[in-house]
């Protein structure tokens, strides 16, 4: 049926309107798209160029080499060695289980280590690499690298790890590093991004922990081009970081080795300090352990052995251990009395074996008594009653003030873990801590280094150096940082009466050189090397019993302090042997041997020892040389 002219006109008009509508819509759409493209390509071009660059370029941190640690002679104690490991980044991996399975077909994976790594993968952000295989061989690393295209998110790495060259000898001084833990991250506010790197090592104990900021260094950055699968194509640039500072200690590794060997299997500690500079020449604590066990994480079995050892190898007894100083404290009481003007060196007190104070008897170690005793004799023969009398006249305020003046009851600032403050008690302290009033018996006990008084071997060595020099000697452990000399510990004069100090030193000299001195058996024979010292025994249980009648852990501690040479003091030494019994028998011989070794820098001639001891000393020197890394020069036949 043919359309009329009017119908054709209406149909054409309708088509034209529809064409115009569709065309308008198309023009509008094209215009909108054009406007959007202009917005994205022109106005937002910088932002999208940045995002595209981020997808193409990966920026990563370059861990710095940790600063190394040396002894005073330049012997390296803590160094960096290469180690090989494999990391996994979850967001680049896709299927973690499948990737781990593929990796396991290429290299052997430790199940226990892998289980821990998988836990870390779940906890950490997806862009943080986690180590899934550590300390692998070079051959294993090469196999992983060759199969890299089939292992998305897996990266073979060459890193640096810590190694302690002298093992157990410096454990309690240098400490050790270990992988950053969740605990470490939790206690640090705004942690360095370096700490999130896989198996990054930080100081856990000792100098490694206390000097962490110096030793760690600053991270560098690396820009690398990556493909769509996250594989590195090429390096685009890098900014090198800053290596950690090298630290040189005041410790002499030869003397430190000797001290550790001489302490042997005892639960003991020894400190050697230079009287002129305050330099710590040796800080020994026994027993010890190999710090290399901790560097990559110690096994549960090894850690359990250390924890359950009753000799406490994990504790640095030289600075952490505090003990009643016993009779080594008597110089403090005597000097306090002299400075207070309540006695003179010539004044005497009668010792009949005890002193009654407030209806309580305080006994002297010599039950029959010493008779009339002067200052020098009281030190020489260690009369307790003499110091009971001084305590009543001097008072605890003056005694404690003198103790602090001589370095006791103070936390010395050296970079080791948990350096103890000790205790020089006062009336206020007892009221605040014990909620009790001070009584005369407390002063009597304190006068001979018992009761509430506590001191570490480090503090006793400082005390002895101050008595020897009359200066406020401060211990120094770090000699240089990156070659820059650190402040000396020589100290200013203490302002004590030199005549009073001379009397104290004379009493200490007679302890080891007089026929009735308590430490005579451990004397040094030549006048040029003669020492002045003081024996001490501190009670662990209150009742007086023979050591053989009680378990080891209930026996008295043995102590000895000395300085040498007497006429020109160069070194001061403090030794504590836990549950060793008497200071004259357990601690004094050790201190004498260490003193001679420090003075000579090597095994001293046998002529320095009493003739009856020379055969034993010859055998001991031979045995200890075998235990030390570097054999000493010289002959065993010196006489």
Give pLDDT tens digits for 39-88.
656 565 555 554 454 456 777 788 899 999 999 999 999 999 998 889 98
Q: What is the CB-side half-sphere exposure of residue 401 using CA atoms within 13 A?
A: 11
Give pLDDT tens digits for 503-519.
999 999 999 999 999 99
Domain boundaries, the chain: 64-249, 253-298+311-627
pLDDT band, very low/low/confident/very high, at 38 (cuts 50, 70, 90): low
Active site residues: 327
pLDDT at 8 over 70: no
Question: What does DSSP say about strands 280-286 and 177-179: parallel, antiparallel, or unpaired?
Answer: unpaired
**Across 436-445, average pLDDT:** 96
Q: Which fold has domain 64-249?
A: Penicillin-binding protein 2a (Domain 2) (3.90.1310)
pLDDT band, very low/low/confident/very high, at 19 (cuts 50, 70, 90): low
Exposed e or buried b for every residue in 138-165, given b needs 16+ CB within 10 A?
eebbeebeebeeebbbbbbbebebbebb
Which residues touch 580 (CB under 8 Å, ≥6 apart)? Answer: 266, 268, 555, 556, 557, 558, 586, 587
Which of 318, 220, 307 minimizes the C-alpha distance to 263?
Answer: 318
Residues of the chain with pLDDT > 90, as a percent, come to 67
What global pTM score does this model have? 0.85
**Across 241-247, average pLDDT:** 94
| DSSP assigned state of 124 | S
Q: What share of the chain is helix, strand, coil (3-state, %, to 5)?
A: 45, 20, 35
| DSSP assigned state of 608 | G
Extract the tokens encoding 176: 């050790």
Residue 37: predicted pLDDT = 67
Residue 18: predicted pLDDT = 66
Q: At residue 137, what are phi and psi to the nearest 5 degrees?
A: -80, 165
Residue 185: predicted pLDDT = 85
| Order of strands across the sheet that contains 220-226 | 57-62, 220-226, 232-239
CB atoms within 10 A of CB 235: 10
Give pLDDT tens digits for 597-627.
999 999 999 999 999 999 999 999 999 988 8
Residue 636: predicted pLDDT = 39
Residue 51: predicted pLDDT = 46
pLDDT band, very low/low/confident/very high, at 469 (cuts 50, 70, 90): very high
Q: What's the CATH number for 253-298+311-627?
A: 3.40.710.10
pLDDT at 631 over 50: no
Please answer whether residues 80 and 65 qualify as being in contact, where contact means their C-beta atoms are separated by less than 8 angstroms: yes
Residue 634: predicted pLDDT = 37
Same fold, 64-249 and 253-298+311-627: no
Which residues touch 73 (CB under 8 Å, ≥6 apart)? Answer: 252, 253, 254
- 360-537-434 Cα angle (round to 5): 55
pLDDT band, very low/low/confident/very high, at 340 (cuts 50, 70, 90): very high
Residue 639: predicted pLDDT = 33
pLDDT band, very low/low/confident/very high, at 28 (cuts 50, 70, 90): low
**Three-class SS state of 22:** helix
- 475-479-480 Cα angle (round to 5): 145
**Across 272-284, average pLDDT:** 98
Lowest mean pLDDT among 383-392, 545-554, 587-596: 545-554
Extract the tokens encoding 126: 């997806």
Give pLDDT tens digits for 522-554.
999 999 999 999 999 998 876 566 666 788 888
Residue 35: predicted pLDDT = 67
Q: What's the whole-number average pLDDT of the chain?
A: 89
Residue 230: predicted pLDDT = 56
């Amino acid at each position: 049926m043919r359309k009329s002219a009017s119908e054709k006109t209406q149909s054409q008009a309708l088509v034209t309107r529809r064409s115009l509508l569709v065309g308008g819509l198309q023009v509008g759409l094209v215009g909108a798209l054009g406007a959007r493209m202009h917005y994205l390509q022109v106005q937002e071009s910088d932002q999208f160029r940045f995002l595209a660059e981020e997808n193409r370029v990966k920026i990563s941190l370059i861990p710095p080499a940790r600063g190394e640690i040396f002894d005073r002679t330049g012997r390296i104690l803590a160094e960096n060695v290469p180690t090989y490991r494999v990391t996994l980044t979850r967001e680049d991996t896709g299927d973690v289980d499948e990737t781990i399975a593929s990796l396991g077909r290429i290299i052997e994976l430790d199940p226990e280590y892998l289980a821990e790594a998988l836990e870390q993968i779940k906890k950490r952000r997806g862009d943080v690499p986690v180590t899934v295989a550590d300390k692998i061989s070079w051959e294993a690393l090469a196999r992983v690298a060759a199969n890299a295209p089939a292992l998305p998110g897996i990266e073979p790495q060459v890193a640096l790890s810590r190694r302690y060259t002298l093992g157990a000898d410096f454990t309690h001084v240098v400490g050790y590093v270990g992988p950053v833990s969740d605990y470490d991250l939790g206690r640090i506010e705004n942690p360095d991004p370096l700490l999130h790197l896989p198996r990054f090592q930080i100081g856990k104990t000792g100098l490694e922990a206390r000097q962490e900021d110096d030793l760690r260094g600053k991270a560098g950055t690396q820009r690398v081009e990556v493909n769509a699968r996250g594989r590195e194509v090429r390096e685009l640039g890098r900014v090198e970081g800053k290596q950690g500072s090298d630290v040189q200690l005041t410790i002499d590794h030869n003397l430190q080795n000797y001290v550790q060997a001489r302490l042997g299997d005892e639960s003991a500690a020894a400190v050697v300090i230079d009287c002129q500079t305050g330099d710590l020449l040796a800080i020994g604590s026994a027993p010890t352990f190999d710090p290399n066990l901790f560097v990559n994480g110690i096994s549960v079995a090894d850690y359990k052995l250390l924890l359950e050892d009753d000799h406490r190898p994990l504790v640095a007894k030289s600075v952490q251990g505090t003990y009643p100083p016993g009779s080594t404290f008597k110089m403090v009481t005597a000097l306090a009395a002299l400075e207070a003007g309540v006695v003179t060196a010539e004044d005497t007190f009668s010792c009949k074996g005890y002193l009654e104070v407030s209806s309580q008897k305080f006994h002297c170690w010599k039950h029959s008594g010493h008779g009339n005793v002067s200052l020098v004799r009281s030190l020489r023969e260690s009369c307790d009653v003499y110091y009971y009398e001084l305590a009543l006249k001097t008072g605890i305020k003056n005694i404690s003030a003198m103790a602090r003046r001589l370095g006791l009851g103070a936390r010395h600032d050296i970079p080791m873990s948990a350096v103890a403050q000790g205790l020089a008690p006062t009336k206020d302290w007892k009221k605040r801590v014990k909620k009790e009033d001070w009584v005369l018996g407390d002063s009597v006990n304190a006068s001979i280094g018992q009761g509430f008084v506590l001191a570490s071997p480090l503090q006793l060595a400082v005390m002895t150096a101050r008595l020897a020099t009359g200066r406020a000697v401060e211990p120094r452990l770090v000699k240089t940082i990156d070659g820059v000399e650190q402040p000396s510990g020589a100290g200013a004069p203490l302002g004590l009466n030199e005549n009073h100090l001379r009397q104290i030193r004379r009493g200490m000299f007679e302890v080891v050189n007089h026929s009735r001195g308590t430490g005579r058996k451990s004397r040094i024979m030549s006048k040029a090397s003669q020492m002045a010292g003081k024996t001490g025994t501190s009670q662990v249980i209150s009742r007086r019993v023979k050591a053989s009648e009680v378990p080891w852990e209930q026996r008295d501690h043995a102590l000895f302090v000395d300085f040498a040479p007497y006429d020109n003091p160069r070194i001061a030494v403090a030794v504590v042997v836990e549950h060793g019994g008497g200071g004259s028998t357990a601690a004094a011989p050790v201190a004498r041997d260490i003193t001679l070794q420090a003075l000579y820098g090597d095994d001293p001639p046998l002529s320095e020892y009493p003739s009856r001891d020379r055969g034993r000393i010859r055998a001991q020197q031979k045995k200890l040389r075998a235990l030390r890394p570097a054999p000493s020069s010289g002959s065993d036949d010196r006489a």
